[in-house]
Amino acid sequence: MVDTSLPNIDPVFPCRDCQAGHMHRDYIAYFTWLGDELISVPDFPAWVCDICGRCEYDENALTRLTLLLSPNAGKTISATRVKAAKSRIKPKVQRSTQPD
Ligand SMILES: [Zn+2]
């Protein structure tokens, strides 16, 4: 009898790459650049396939790390301003190709 509803069992996903293996919760080193500084996280939550070894960093952890590292974390980016600038249609300048 297999009870998968146990709360303390980590979820396992089928591998998207080889489709035969399963992605297991694991902790691997994560490296990223912050400006010209290399940041390393020794025990970063990730998912590792037991067959092909494919690894995916945990999305939630990545989002949190990005927020931590981002100098603009917590700031609201005015999307309306970008949108307004984008919707503005610039007149296209037609360039005549000159023969050599
Ligand atoms: Zn795999």
If you average pLDDT over every residue of the chain, what do you get? 80
Mean pLDDT in residue range 83-94: 60
Ligand 1 centre distance from Cα of residue 68 (Å): 30
Write down the architecture of domain 13-73 according to CATH.
Roll (3.10)
Distance CA 61, CA 57 (A): 8
Q: How confident is the model at residue 66 (pLDDT cuts 50, 70, 90)?
A: confident
Ligand 1 centre distance from Cα of residue 14 (Å): 8
pLDDT at 76 over 80: no
Higher-pLDDT residue of 81, 17? 17
Ligand 1 centre distance from Cα of residue 78 (Å): 40
Ligand 1 centre distance from Cα of residue 18 (Å): 4
Distance CA 82, CA 46 (A): 34
Q: In the beta sheet, which residues pair with residue 48?
A: 24, 55
Sketch the domain layout of the chain as residue ranges: 13-73
Ligand 1 centre distance from Cα of residue 33 (Å): 27
pLDDT of residue 1: 60
pLDDT of residue 16: 92
